[in-house]
Chains A and B, each alone.
Chain A
Amino acid sequence: MVAVADTVSLELDDIQSGALHERPSPYVGTYVLLRIDDRASGRELVRRLHPVVDSGRPSADPARDAWVTVAFTYQGLKALGVPRDSLESFAPEFREGMAARAAELGDVGESSPANWETPLGSPDVHVALAALSPDAPRLEAVVERARRARQELPGVEVIWRQDCYQLPTGRTSFGFKDGIGQPAVEGTGISGSNPGEPPIKAGEFILGYPDETGSLPPMPTPGVLGRNGTYIVFRKLHTRVAAYRRYLREKAATREEEALLGAKMVGRWQSGAPLALCSESDDPELGADPHRNNDFVYRDDLRGFKCPAGAHARRANPRDALDEDGSVNVRLHRMIRRGTSYGPMLPEGVLEDDGADRGIIFVFAGAHPKRQFEFVKTQWLNDGIFIGAPAEKDPLVGPNDGSGKFTIPQRPVRRRLQNVPPFVVTRGGEYCFVPGLRALRWLAELET
């Protein structure tokens, strides 16, 4: 077995900063998708985007600036004329595309690609740009830089734009502070949010470095294209906030019980305070404290009296809860998440749907789309086999069909919620590759 050095030297100057960068809070952002109709124009776009993309060690002060990340779908790399043997060296899931993975991912029924928002899931999606900034003026400036990159390039079309934001409270449409749990990545200097979790090997997130198995992750060829790249997965997820609120209202006798049921489903209170640390009532001070709000494990709560085994956050990262199983290495299934909100928030207290499209843009970054994103999605969120409850799915984001169950351990008698409806509908998404900066230049200079 290949020995893994304790420390690795990451080529941070070659890694797009969006991959590892902690975001400012709050922020505003824009996602743009483009189609390349003409290969030469596509390469010229990449050439012009190169200086727009930031790299380097993520700033200690994330509010410093705005930045752009550029990513390509498999169809996009094809449109740029990447040679066949190189295309075939990419991860199979990336090559298939998210629409082709729909059945596996639980994107069925209303969430199936047939119902996705145009052009998501179609072969027209070639380039994805993400621009993020602490405020609107700085975002506009950076979007303008990206826009200029596309000027007078008739062979490149903008086919989709989605604005997004994070509220100053960090809360998403369901009302919960999100994005608290992030792994520390070895060699980046970015500390994780859970002091109990040693930094994850860089190769779990950036291609070209040893990963948690002690090996180099499968890397696209040639090396100049794959090295310092990462895969991202983005999903536009519509949240049925009114239906969610009505469901809780129906199941709860009081507002306090409503808040408790909501917290049991998520694993955290709305403030972000984890049930593992305060299971009786919300503690906003704890929720707001980045040094404490992710500093916990589950070993003292294996039966889930504080935080149910089926709660969303515990499913997505079971920490030490499965250590006794002997079949799971949680460090192989960690994700960098860069989720964000879109659409207007449903005003507090409103129980009727206002017809507005709102939700989250889920973004994953990692070197292993299958054993990270797809594993977490299919084994932990969409299924309950791993917690001994095959009939239960994630109560918040699982593909429930109205027959879902959710068990809340409590004394003397456990509570079981029945007929959990779907609260999240997939509007579309895609697997993308975020090349390093040298790789961007290689793409711009292709001569096929």
Chain B
Amino acid sequence: MRRTCVVILLALLSLGIAWVVLGRSTAAPAITGPLTRLDRPPCITPDYREVVIPPNIAPLHFRLAEQINDWSAEIWGEQNVRRTLHGKGTDVRIPTSFWRSLLDSSAGGTIRLAFSGRHEDGGWIAFEPFEIRVAREPVDPYLAYRIIDPVFGCWGHMSIRQRDLTSFAETAILRNRTFAYDCSNCHTFHAHDPSRLALQIRSQDVGACMVVADGGQTTRVYTATEFNRSAAAYSRWHPNGRAIAFAAIKVMQFFHAIGHTRDVFDEASDLAVYLVDENLVTTTPAISDPDWLETYPEWSPDGSYLYFCRAPQKPVEEFRTVKYDLMRIAYNARTNTWGELETILSSADTQLSVTHPRVSPDGRYLLFTMCEYGNFSIYRPDSDLHLLDLTTGKYVKLPINSDRADSYHSWSTNGRWIVFSSKRRDGLFTHPYLSYFDEQGNAHRPFILPQQDPGFYESYLKVFNVPEFVTGPVRVSPNLLTRTITEPDFRQQAELDPQVTARDAGTPRDMPWHSVREVPGNPR
């Protein structure tokens, strides 16, 4: 009896293996029968046609959005690297080894893909080939981002993850499940260095704090002081790696009855700088004026200027009239002294609101978002990326924008790649898009972060937040980061710079978003 069972089990197992192996077979379907030639390339999703890709990117898997049952493709690059692929269904997965040789041989050149597809009735159609250009300059090998639900007020799971852009490997830097579903956000790296990162934590148990990882050392810094009652947000490392600029904000969220539902308004917002070595929070009245809302700090690559956005403080009912200017102020990191405030781009001129300034690594360009009003551009469908030439003072709207929100962008280390969050696919879920930025200052047609499953984005119910390029994998373990957040040994209270006057404890710390744990009736 037992032997019989074993035999049956083995037989079933063999059948299963055979089914899996044969089912995935890409045996060449012969192109027989009538062949119709179409004068257009095939529709594919994600749409990688005519994009420019880095020479070290993972294979671009996609789905043919055509009514076909089988496909056959001729793929060739430079130096006569060529291969014919076949597949059943509409999913196209290019073998990694072939993809690598294709990219290696085609850097600075073009890859061409010519597809034919077989209809249900057995007839074949041949599409026009399409091209993918391969840039010479590689992209940073890692991308860090936060994965979260499309949160309105209350979140559940969230995690900060890193993706190896040369493959499909994705690992967690930190999951909020390990610290009671509290919030982690605003991750930022010093000069794209994975060993030096800062991220913000908002926790019911340990409060609002900034986790700073510097090599193997980690600390949990409480940046709220007698000056800034709110903890840090939108932090950015100074190029010298010894200071972190941040915004201390009081945010509220409200909802519209039609159109895009969510909206955000800053009731108060000031900038400050955390000096890592001195464990001091410092600021100057020019960037922390109570009559103005200052936010989104960004350092120039040489560290001599702090760029930021600023708008006059108004009551919430006038939210549609709150438009931010682009400002900058000189800063001497050695002496911790501030210069004069300058307006770089005035909303009076643009009639739009500036957010998210990001200076290119060579210091020539400033990439920013503009939308109709406010500073939470990812909630504004009219948000678009713009490029300011800091040498001429002229700005242009980039051609890579869509009719939906395009925001939260970041430069690669070599300045040749831009990653930004876009809702262009569906209007709700943000996805990371990469765009080549050439030496003439042109941004090229962007492409979505490739995934192993060609249909990944069709059913993925999470959003990608704050994509940031990193030069390697973050090696500080999730376990250590969790311990840093939860254990008392890692705690460090920042001091207020004695030269900064303490303020009345007027600025509240509350945020409009909360964890599932904070909902009355839910468990603590």
> Do A and B bind?
no
